[in-house]
Amino acid sequence: MKVLVANLGSTSFKYRLFDITEAGETLLAKGGYERVENFGEVIEDCVRSLEEDAHLAPMGADLDAVGFKCVVGGEVSGCLEADQTVLDALEKFREVAPAHNPAYANGIKQFAKVMPNVPRVALFETAFYQWTPEPTRHYAVPKNWRDAGIRRYGFHGASHKFIAERSAQLIGREDIVEKVQHLYQQGNTDITEKPLRVISCHLGGSSSVTGIHNGVAIGSSMGFSPQGGLPQNNRVGDLDTMAIPFMMKTQGLSLEECEHQLTKEGGLLGLSGAGNDIRDVKDAASKGNQDARLALEIQIREIRRWVGSFFFEMGGADIIAFTGGIGEYNPDVRAGVCRGLEELGIAVDGRLNGALMGTEGFISANGARTRIAVIPANEEVVIAREVFRFMQSRNAGKSGVNREKAEVNT
């Protein structure tokens, strides 16, 4: 089965073409575009390139599906056909993910024009969190807020799902992940096997921490929107709700101005004043910029806070995994997160940690109870696998799947 994975940003488009079977997947082609102004033209160019380089049939005639990593659609979640229901959900929650929802809605429409006969399938980032315990899904807000959809959704689901499965493979426990996910699919949460406890740290321009118990998410640092949780590159992360009315009343800011500053001028950029890329922030800190140094310290502190939360919730951790651009290429961040935790069984081997840059491996000290791993992100392969499973189910005549639970095959 040939599956094209489309990764869309507000002005970017990246793609991966996979050939998938029950035995695994093969990457046939990949590419991308930056500073996109006309997505229709770019998608047409992408199809032409695939026809030439990957021998794709004209107009994607031999393409089985196009998969999209959609962000949030409220209660519309899972892996499902990217139809009008999905488009309506993306529109309804466009203000929650303004940099992503409109881009994916546009991409889905453009692919429908360019390749109208190729099925379009959406995998929502929120899908990985469908089994989180009920208390972890809610804020202490009035009922009418909850009824309006204000709840903790969680994000970076494809990345954290890959970490859940890959970390289990690395220590030979993929069987428990497969078994437990099957049991959850059947509505059975009575698990008696020895637990596999993973804390996944997706650290990049956008960052989050997720606790994973036997392959199933138990919660995320991100909540209602990608704005919450850890400080992002230019997004503030967690913030007391009273800060906004205070600034509006005392500084004369409008709601729109508050929103702009918190989503475009906060995070590492707002703290450091040196930029929103950690490389620029680290460079400024090395030159004596105290604000940049503070930004790095706050980032590590917030990661530790969420790692500690899930460590406590699960009664420990078998693996703490680092992924994403920051997690994969910054030994100092990994060391900072794990510093001083030897009595909890968490210790990093400095030599291994310093040598591992963007490649997979363990960096935990010899004899430490908790394994510390670096696992390069691979969201696209998760999307391709889920689209493959969805299409198998649909082709077998099982398309009448409850939308909220549509990802249960994972």
Answer yes or no: is 7 a known binding residue: yes
Residues 9 and 105 both lie in one domain: yes
Question: What domain range includes position 67?
Answer: 2-129+380-402
Query: pTM for this one?
Result: 0.91
Same domain (yes/no): 163, 60: no
pLDDT digits (tens, 9 = 90+) for 216-256: 999 999 999 999 999 999 999 999 999 999 999 999 999 99
**Token pair 């489309």: residue:** 6
Q: For residue 141, is it within any domain?
A: no
The percent of residues above 90 in pLDDT, for the chain, comes to 78
Question: Tell me: the pLDDT tens digits for 162-175?
Answer: 999 999 999 998 88
Domain count, the chain: 2
Residue 379 labeled ligand binder: yes
User: Would residue 270 count as lying in a domain?
Assistant: no
| pLDDT for the residue numbered 192 | 65
DSSP string, 26-39: EEEEEEEESS-S-H
Task: Using alpha carbons, select from 393, 392, 391, 385 the residue that is nearest to residue 410.
Answer: 385
CATH number at residue 211: 3.30.420.40
- Residue 45's CB is within 10 A of a number of other CB atoms, namely 14
Residues 80 and 195 in one domain: no
Mean pLDDT of 187-206: 84
Q: Which residue has the tokens 């360019």?
A: 114
Which pLDDT score is estimated for 176?
79
pLDDT digits (tens, 9 = 90+) for 85-116: 999 999 999 999 998 999 999 999 999 998 99
- pLDDT tens per residue, range 29-60: 999 998 888 888 998 899 889 988 888 888 77
Q: Which of 147, 151, 156 is nearest to 138 (CA)?
A: 151
Q: Which helix (H) or strand (E) holds 124?
A: strand 120-124
Domain for residue 316, yes or no?
yes
d(CA 152, CA 179): 26
Tell whether 278 is in a known binding site: yes
Percent of the chain having pLDDT more than 70?
A: 95
Given a cut of 50, is residue 347 above it in pLDDT?
Answer: yes
Q: Could you tell me if residue 318 is inside a domain?
A: yes
Q: Are residues 125 and 174 in the same domain?
A: no
On the 0-12 / 13-18 / 19+ scale of CB atoms within 10 A, 109 is middle
301 and 394: one domain? no
Amino acid occupying residue 340: G
Instruction: Tally Cβ neighbours within 10 Å of residue 190.
Output: 5
Same domain flag for 314 and 229: yes
Question: DSSP states of 229-247 as a string?
Answer: SS--SSS--S--TTHHHHH
Q: What is the mean predicted confidence (pLDDT) over 71-82?
A: 95
Residue 32 lies in a domain: yes
Q: Are residues 111 and 228 in the same domain?
A: no
Q: Which tops the pLDDT comparison, 386 or 399? A: 386
Q: Does 233 show up as a binding residue in the annotation? A: no
Q: Tell me, yes or no, whether 193 and 321 share the same domain.
A: yes
The answer on whether 43 is annotated among ligand-binding residues is: no
The pLDDT tens digits for 254-275 are 999 999 999 999 999 999 999 9
Regarding whether 204 and 93 lie in a shared domain, the answer is no
Whether residue 171 is found in the same domain as residue 309: yes
Q: Does the pLDDT at position 188 exceed 70?
A: no
CB 52 within 8 A of CB 91: no
Q: Is 409 annotated as a binding residue?
A: no
Residue 76 in any domain: the answer is: yes
Instruction: Decide if 84 is inside a domain.
Output: yes
Say if residue 182 is in the same domain as residue 196. yes
Q: How confident is the model at residue 410, as a pLDDT?
A: 37
Residues 175 and 299 in one domain: yes
Half-sphere exposure of 44 (CA within 13 A, CB side): 6
pLDDT of residue 175: 81
Check whether 399 has a pLDDT greater than 50: no
pLDDT in tens, 123-159: 999 999 998 999 999 999 999 999 999 999 999 999 9
Mean pLDDT of the chain: 91
Q: Is residue 238, in this structure, part of any structural domain at all?
A: no
Q: Is the pLDDT of residue 392 over 50?
A: yes
